[in-house]
Amino acid sequence: MKRGLENGPGSAMTDSADNANFSALLDAVESRKRTLLAYLTQERFLRRFQPAHIRDAVFSYVRGGGKSLRPAVAMLACGALGGDESRALPVAAAIEIYHTWTLVHDDVIDRDDTRRGLPTVHRDFARRAAEEFGWAPDAAEHYGRTIAMLAGDVQQSWSWSLLFEAHLEFGVPAEIVLRLGQDLASRVTPLLVEGETLDVQYSGAVLALDESAIIDMLWKKTGVLYEFAGRAGAAIALNNADAGLPAARAIARFCSLCGAAFQIQDDILGIVGDERQLGKPVGSDIREGKTTLLTLKALERADSQQRELILRTLGAENASHDDAQAVTELLRQLGAVRYAQERSRQTVEEALGHLGALPPSANRDLLEQWARYLIQRQF
């Protein structure tokens, strides 16, 4: 049996169970992902980014096997409110590329070597600089980080041009595009950057934090962009950018809460997931000193000896495999994993209460499946 989460309610499933219980959702997401990828890899976009290293970096994660959940949510939200999903395509694409630049930069910040089982952008181009240019290690590392920064910058500008294309090519009213753009620039981006900054600042500072501070940070890192995806889909469906409309407010709140639950599950998988499925080293969050609900709850429940081990290992980049494994087992034994699972489940149940305000439809059913999938996925 593959190593997964603890057994019981809210635990992760195996791949076969995943596919059996969520096949309709996964098929729907995959279909929208294919449409999205065909749109984003048009020749006119491929020609836009030069030189070749920038182009390759820009499209690396786009083609790298992610599920593209955020754009799928935007399109499903549009359809759930009676809209034409095809009109939401450029906005969904904008959300995907916007999310992608944050990943490219986040990997530099976290000094991650892999994403989805492949080298991160900065690691890949450090390697290419060494192989293609014959550069020394320090220069090659700097080049890799430089390419990642520049690729992320141009991806952010691309996301804006995709948003504008919703009006210029797809007939979405200019006022809706402007209001979505204003929300993205003046609210979403500052909140997301705040969340990322707090995540870095909180590393190793778990003793000074409480649960509300961690949940707030998680929402800013992840929930705010999911909220925007729901809000954007609603605006296009309703042909109205007023976020205060009951249906728009309900779908945005649903997506917002699901985004927070998604991040809690991510943190669970980062500790006790299957490395082959995650595509990144399990336990790296411990060595990075990442502050999560799991570490917070474990420290609250640990005795002095257990507490010493957790604090000694958390944030120690050179921590031994045995120590990292021992901390992982402690998180299980102390009920921290179970607690985070339950917290994630409660968040999804709250989200589903908002989804119930939408009229019945196939898309609403898919959104409900998506919410439940978030806390049962293994990668």
Cα–Cα dist 247/238, whole Å = 9
Which residues, other chains included, contact 161 with Cβ-Cβ below 8 Å and sequence gap of 6+? none
Residue 9: inside a domain, yes or no? no
For the chain, how many residues are written? 379
Residue 10: inside a domain, yes or no? no
Residue 162: inside a domain, yes or no? yes
pLDDT of 15 = 45
- Which of 336, 179, 178, 354 is closest to 264 using CA atoms? 336
What confidence tens digit (pLDDT) does each residue in 328-348 have? Answer: 999 999 999 999 999 999 999
Cα–Cα dist 365/74, whole Å = 15
Q: pTM of the prediction?
A: 0.91
∠ CA 105-65-6, nearest 5°, is: 90
Residue 1: inside a domain, yes or no? no
Domain count within the chain:
1
Residue 62: inside a domain, yes or no? yes
Residue 379: inside a domain, yes or no? no
pLDDT of 336 = 96
Cα–Cα dist 270/290, whole Å = 10
Could you list the pLDDT tens digit for every one of the 379 residues in the chain? Answer: 233 323 333 333 334 445 558 999 999 999 999 999 999 999 999 999 999 999 999 999 999 878 899 999 999 999 999 999 999 999 999 999 999 999 999 999 989 999 988 999 999 999 999 999 999 999 999 999 999 999 999 999 999 999 999 999 999 999 999 999 999 999 999 999 999 999 999 986 777 889 999 999 999 999 999 999 999 999 999 999 999 999 999 999 999 999 999 999 999 998 887 666 655 666 677 877 888 999 999 999 999 999 999 998 988 877 788 888 899 999 999 999 999 999 999 999 999 999 999 999 999 999 999 999 999 887 6
SS (H, E, C) 198-211: HHHHHCCCHHHCCH
Q: Where are the alpha helices (DSSP H) in 207-335?
A: 211-218, 224-238, 246-272, 275-278, 284-288, 293-301, 304-313, 321-333
Residue 5: inside a domain, yes or no? no
| Residue appearing with tokens 């240019």 | 133
Q: Are 114 and 124 in contact (CB under 8 A)?
A: no
Tokens of 147: 């390419």
Q: What is the DSSP secondary-structure string of 76-107? A: HHHHHTT--GGGGHHHHHHHHHHHHHHHHHHH
Neighbours of 263 (CB within 10 A): 26
pLDDT of 6 = 31
**What CATH number is attached to the domain comprising 172?**
1.10.600.10
User: Helix 224-238 to helix 174-183 angle, to the nearest 10 degrees?
Assistant: 170
pLDDT of 316 = 81
DSSP state of 359: P
pLDDT of 344 = 96
- Domain that includes residue 197, residue range: 15-374
Cα–Cα dist 348/70, whole Å = 16
Cα–Cα dist 224/222, whole Å = 6
DSSP state of 219: I
Residue 99: inside a domain, yes or no? yes
